Amino acid sequence: MASVLSVRDLAYGYAGSAQPVFRNLDLRVEPGEFVAIVGQSGVGKSTLLRCVAQLVPAARGEVELAVPSEATARPFGFVFQDTRLMPWRRVRGNVACGLKGLQLDATQRDARLREVLSLARIGELADRWPRQLSGGQAQRVGIARALALHPRVLLMDEPFSAVDAITRQALQDELLRIWEQRHPAVLFVTHDIEEAVYLADRVVVLAGTPAGVVTDRSIDLARPRDRAAPELQAVAREITAAL
């Protein structure tokens, strides 16, 4: 089966900078695979996602995203750290905003909204304004908005970093529940190595100046995982050492 995302020889640099942020970057994500990207600040983790989403232009290299055969889906959905909810739209309107341009009639659109609101467990919040949401609820809305696109790959840029530790663990488990039900491919950026090991099938470590892939580690731990398990902690220490 073909990869849903293929990155080849990718490089990115800021205008006027003497050297790129990263270069010679190669990465593949397979259908249904959960891949986490970790690395210290400044190595280009978030920039990599933005290059994949074509929000910023790469200096060199190629990004190939699998294009859905149906006109009712998109190649990717993006979940941002700061949720980026529009304050003038209620939850339902925020989730629906990405559906514009997809070939869905009114009945299909309403069914899609009910589907993802239920999947993210925010159906009872559909008529609230963003200002009425907690941080965890707002992030669930962001996830639902991305899932409404039926994406081949879900791009997630440190989506849980702005919430407290208890909410973060709850959102991690919610994400895994959704992923196990729908199995989109996920490319997940995080600073938290234990989070990466808990969630992912593979952890890719970016390091160096310019940055590149220094470790691509399969996480062969059975699911469901225990955050405190010695095996998980051992893998987290190994990945930390690669930084």
Q: Which of 210, 156, 220 is nearest to 23 (CA)?
A: 210
Burial of 165 (0-12, 13-18, 19+ CB in 10 A): exposed
- The reported pLDDT for the residue numbered 103 is 93
- The reported pLDDT for the residue numbered 70 is 84
Tell me phi and psi for residue 202, to 5 degrees: -140, 145
- The reported pLDDT for the residue numbered 83 is 85
Decide the pairing of beta strands 153-157 and 5-12. unpaired
Say if residue 32's pLDDT is above 70: yes
Confidence bin at 145 (pLDDT 50/70/90): very high
Say if residue 124's pLDDT is above 80: yes
Per-residue pLDDT tens digits for 70-95: 889 999 999 998 889 999 999 999 99
Say if residue 167's pLDDT is above 70: yes
> What's the number of domains the chain is made of?
1
Domain range for residue 44?
A: 5-242
Average pLDDT over residues 110-115: 96
pTM of the predicted model as reported, rounded to 2 decimal places: 0.95
Q: Is 18 helix (H, G, I), strand (E, B) or coil?
A: coil
Answer yes or no: are the C-beta atoms of 120 and 144 closer than 8 Å: yes
What single letter denotes the amino acid at residue 62? Answer: E
Q: What is the number of H-type helices and E-type strands within the chain?
A: 7, 9
- The reported pLDDT for the residue numbered 35 is 98
Instruction: Outline where DSSP puts E strands in the chain.
Output: 5-12, 22-29, 34-38, 60-65, 76-79, 153-157, 185-189, 202-207, 212-218
- The reported pLDDT for the residue numbered 98 is 82
80 half-sphere exposure, CB direction, 13 A CA radius: 8
Containing H/E element for 188?
A: strand 185-189
% of the chain exceeding 90 in pLDDT: 88
Residue 208, domain CATH: 3.40.50.300
SS3 content of the chain, % helix, strand, coil (to 5): 35, 25, 40
Per-residue pLDDT tens digits for 201-227: 999 999 999 999 999 999 999 999 999
Say if residue 122's pLDDT is above 80: yes
Say if residue 1's pLDDT is above 70: no
What is the radius of gyration, based on Cα positions, of the chain?
18
